[in-house]
Amino acid sequence: MITDHLLKFEQKTDDTDIPDHFYEEMPDVVNELLESCLTGQCFDHVDSIPIITLESVAQIIQQARRIIFPGYFSQTVLAPSNLEYCLRQETTELLKRISRHIRLSFQHDCLRYNQYCSQCNDRSHKKALEFIRTLPKLRDLLATDVRAGFRGDPAAKSCDEVIFSYPGLFAITVYRLAHELYLLSVPLLPRMMTEYAHSLTGIDIHPGAKIGESFFIDHGTGVVVGETTEIGNRVRIYQGVTLGALSIPSETVDDFRNKKRHPTIEDDVIIYSNATLLGGETVIGARSVIGGNVWITESVPADTKVILKRPELVYSRNNHK
């Protein structure tokens, strides 16, 4: 009989045993499952390299965040006397951790294509070091995002509140880290990182997007920024904004995989809540403002304000109550 060691609280109650003949049916179920592994109709990851767990993705993000915003997310109080020691320890650990996960990502793809690459290990060390070298630059860049958040939201009480609690800043931090790995052609890991941020914030930024400095996303739930989007400096967007692709018929998906499918947003643009901007040739000119709920599939010149024509509303007496 199998006991559940993990669930302490389950042991607190007296479990009434399942009759033995129920367990006797398990081999049949298992055989059915095994057969579908043999036919290749279903998906399995057997006889393969170790997987990247969501927990380790979270640890990479948390450690990078402790390096970029020293003291904000550390459980030990940082002092000028221990700052250098702590930063050195964290960056060295992160080098090791990211190197291992870059290697797992490369090996995963090598196996997939049946081209086992003997240099996966060396490549991953080099890519990891290149990634670590970008951290000071990311620290500068993210400082501009923090200031943009405080400047852009009248409800923000301080820059610290932005760092501690704004989901937009968290999503942008993870995107900026993942984007560096994307530029280094690391598979799997960058997308797992941004999807981790997506699950916590509702903000879905593809690691392939290019985003300038001082970027601010307010509230953020439902935001989608597609793979080939380009965003300039000092851009501000609100919840529910989609920077997406035009519709694609299924049969031609493969033709689109490496094309620019998502819009370009120039400097100082503001896009209000739930606006949808689609298409790889759509360019929103600098300093333009896109109103809430607007649906755009064509370019907008610089210094332009685009709003929905005041929609006709129908007013009537409510007799429900």
* Footprint on residues 302-321 left by a second copy (CB under 8 A): 303-309, 311-318, 320-321
> Closest approach of Cβ 264 to a second copy, in Å?
17
Q: Does 25 bind a second copy (CB under 8 A)?
A: yes
C-beta closer to a second copy: residue 264 or 300: 300
Asked whether the CA dihedral 146, 199, 101, 105 is positive or negative, the reply is negative
At a CB cut-off of 8 Å and minimum separation 6, what does 8 contact?
none
Q: Does 125 bind a second copy (CB under 8 A)?
A: yes
Residue whose pair of structure tokens reads 């129908």 in the numeric block: 314
Q: Does 233 bind a second copy (CB under 8 A)?
A: no
Alpha-carbon span 99 to 224, nearest angstrom: 29
> Closest approach of Cβ 199 to a second copy, in Å?
5
Which position among 243, 270, 283, 284 is part of the footprint of a second copy (CB under 8 A)? Answer: 270
C-beta closer to a second copy: residue 167 or 263: 167
Alpha-carbon span 316 to 318, nearest angstrom: 6
Which position among 149, 167, 232, 280 is part of the footprint of a second copy (CB under 8 A)? Answer: 167
C-beta closer to a second copy: residue 148 or 264: 148
Which position among 11, 119, 121, 185 is part of the footprint of a second copy (CB under 8 A)? Answer: 121
Dihedral of the alpha carbons of 226, 227, 232, 234, in degrees to the nearest 10: 50
Q: Which of residues 171-190 bind a second copy (CB under 8 A)?
A: 187-188
> Closest approach of Cβ 22 to a second copy, in Å?
5
Query: Are 110 and 56 spatial neighbours (Cβ–Cβ below 8 Å)?
Result: no
Which position among 179, 206, 217, 282 is part of the footprint of a second copy (CB under 8 A)? Answer: 206
Asked whether the CA dihedral 255, 247, 228, 164 is positive or negative, the reply is negative
Q: Does 23 bind a second copy (CB under 8 A)?
A: yes
Sheet holding 210-211, edge to edge: 210-211, 230-231, 264-265, 283-284
Alpha-carbon span 107 to 129, nearest angstrom: 18
Which position among 58, 110, 117, 135 is part of the footprint of a second copy (CB under 8 A)? Answer: 135
User: How many residues can be counted in the chain?
Assistant: 321
